[in-house]
Structure 1
């Protein structure tokens, strides 16, 4: 912002602030309203945002499932499917590969934090993670496949739109 002295009504100079865009007569950039741009399009996640969202949401669903049902069951699997769907739909076009990659990372972290471990030590953690991934492979592959299919469909659709221009 630039300060420009302007005469005040009392006769002495006062400081008037100008916005740089308003001074040049340009329209300010469109803002965002509750997760949507003003033109109605939803906001998009970056690759880092996709990873953080996957991690936080998957750990939250796993914690809720552990709190309510005492373990990681169908609620965790269904929550993972919903998370993968949302990630694939909301990621930016430039960051499309992040959606199918970040989901399984969040899944593995949630298993590390909330999976059952019967003994202590690093080896027990690795064995518990491998067992948890093997027992929940259906949910893991379903969510990852869903995200990959949506990302592939978005990529193909965008390429067709680009070629049509």
Structure 2
């Protein structure tokens, strides 16, 4: 008798159609999406590098005074010794002419205006010619006092009037010269300190370099 072979029933697995990526058959199949969770930062934690930075930087130090801002905007030329002397002389001569036209040659106003002119002359002269500031200022005062001296009788009378005006306004003359001398001395001391710091910094950098 023939025996019938019994076969165990096999389970058919459902066929799944291959997923083709949108880019075409040559690209790799994309895996299942992975959920990424970002933990909130702690209140006291510092942000990582590149995160939480703003485009503007916070200025160092406190607020700047308006007087300092005004001084920074003020022009700061560098004149030679001759240039500083010409500036002081021409400025005092023009101020004396205005004083004679507007105030009938007031000696007090002329002497008062001489102080800021002396200060500006000492501030605007270049560092190499700081010594010339206290010298050029009295010459500028003597040149500027000519329009308000009020001399008559030719060159001799005019010269005597200038000498008399210088003797009367000697206080203003000494005051302006003292202001120019103090400013020039302070600038010279600062220049020497900056030079010493530069030399010390250069020596420190030279000591840090490895020797061959």
TM-score by length of 2: 0.55
Q: CA deviation at 1:41?
A: 8.5
Aligned match for 2:180, one of 124, 130, 147 = 147
Q: CA deviation at 1:52?
A: 1.2
Residues 145-154 or 66-75, more deviating = 66-75
Residue 133 (1) aligns with residue 199 (2)? no
Distance 1:72 1:108 in 2: 15
Contact 1:72–1:115 under 8 Å retained in 2: no
Match of 2:128 in 1: 94
Residue 110 (1) aligns with residue 164 (2)? no
Distance 1:41 1:58 in 2: 19
Q: CA deviation at 1:68?
A: 0.9
Aligned residues: 125
Q: CA deviation at 1:90?
A: 0.9
Residue 158 (1) aligns with residue 191 (2)? yes
Instruction: Point out 4+ residue stretches in structure 1 off by more than 2 angstroms.
Output: 40-43
| Higher strand content, 1 or 2 | 1
Residue 67 (1) aligns with residue 101 (2)? yes
TM-score by length of 1: 0.70
Structure number with bigger Rg: 2
5+ unaligned residues in a row in structure 2: which ranges? 1-73, 199-212
| Higher helix content, 1 or 2 | 1
